[in-house]
Structure 1
């Protein structure tokens, strides 16, 4: 007897959670008979998509944006569950030597030595906005303008860096996106002076047609039993 086709659960998410969702989606499909149709990208774009009416059952964004959406009635406030904090980190291509980014001076020198700097959208992505702020604080925004290589989101930036044959490249985005992308390696989180740890939160969208399944997906993503998976994907408690 043929099994019925799984229903579709629509997810809009910041790129930081793509690795975690990917790790758990097969188990969720098996247990709840829902296929996850996920769209991942800069948190600002994902929020814009929800507000523009894109189908969405579960949304995963920074805590600040989820709070805004709860206040405006677009997500169920009672459904909010934090997944953990994600730091912004520095990446090199796999096989290239690690660089010292342990202090503000070391980070400045590493950025100045890089041939190209890969990072997510400086207007809509959490890490991209922060990276531009770091460059300004280091006085490098004008000096390095010609080496900046922004992409729509961190995953796209890291894949482009991995695919580029040029040596001496650096990337800066969420640790989770670096760990998720083959061909790049995490060097370290940004030094304390420039540290950014963003708490990502999942919530059920008010307009969801599958609110029960949406809540079950969030419970799986946030459950204590999956703490090790979250850590492996770059989330910190």
Structure 2
């Protein structure tokens, strides 16, 4: 089966995988997807070769459309994703509903799992959160960083520590059975990121690439997006 190539932020990975059978049935094409931290995916796009479709933050997609890398009339939003707190499945559920309770939960942990603080959307934000909470130095020995949120959560699910905790995009938490969603980050420390798809101008298979963008952003897939954690 031929493939449509895709570069995507990790927040959309579970959604794309869930919709791939429907796309294959309708188009006769599979999806050759590469998923990871948004910053890493942007660098990969710049390095080439060009994929057919990209799913990144709305701000980056807007820049790429403005520069002609993406076909402007193909751009469509998947929805917004909150940055959230996770625990290993079965562990006691901490309170994170306020800045004070989040601070307490992080200080009580013996390991903190999250994605790349320089390239991943959630990782960059979480690094700023612990600075704002005034605990960056205190918890530095506990920090466990990974290339992307899915890897961070998969590792959290098998953590050897007694009281591990994690933070990444909500969709990456919901996607894994070995971790449990606690809640979005509290007001004042929260982040909601819009993810957007578009077709690369150099795509050799524009028609099917447009079909993929329509599928992941259409009303028909709205329930799937909600189940995955998009709002």
TM range (shorter): over 0.9
The 3-state SS of whatever aligns with 2:188 is helix
- Partner residue of 2:5 out of 1, 10, 14: 10
Q: Deviations over 1:42-90 (max 9, x none)?
A: 0011111111113400100000111111122211111110000000000
- Partner residue of 2:154 out of 146, 150, 159: 159
Q: Is the 8 A contact 2:50 2:200 kept in 1?
A: no
Query: Aligned residue for 2:15?
Result: 20
RMSD: 0.8
Query: Aligned residue for 2:45?
Result: 50
Counterpart Cα distance in 1 of 2:200 and 2:162: 44
Matches within 5 A, 1:87-236: 87-236=82-231
**TM-superposed deviation, 1:225:** 1.6
Counterpart Cα distance in 2 of 1:191 and 1:140: 16
Q: TM-score, normalised by structure 2?
A: 0.98
Counterpart Cα distance in 1 of 2:220 and 2:5: 24
Counterpart Cα distance in 2 of 1:184 and 1:145: 22
Query: Aligned residue for 1:85?
Result: 80
**TM-superposed deviation, 1:166:** 1.8
Bigger mean CA deviation after superposition, 161-170 or 190-199: 161-170
**TM-superposed deviation, 1:121:** 0.5
Matched, 1:30 2:30: no
Counterpart Cα distance in 1 of 2:102 and 2:132: 12
Counterpart Cα distance in 1 of 2:194 and 2:225: 13
Q: Which runs of 5+ in 1 are unaligned?
A: 1-5
Counterpart Cα distance in 1 of 2:20 and 2:158: 27
Q: Deviations over 1:8-60 (max 9, x none)?
A: 11000000000110110011011101110000000011111111113400100
**TM-superposed deviation, 1:169:** 0.6
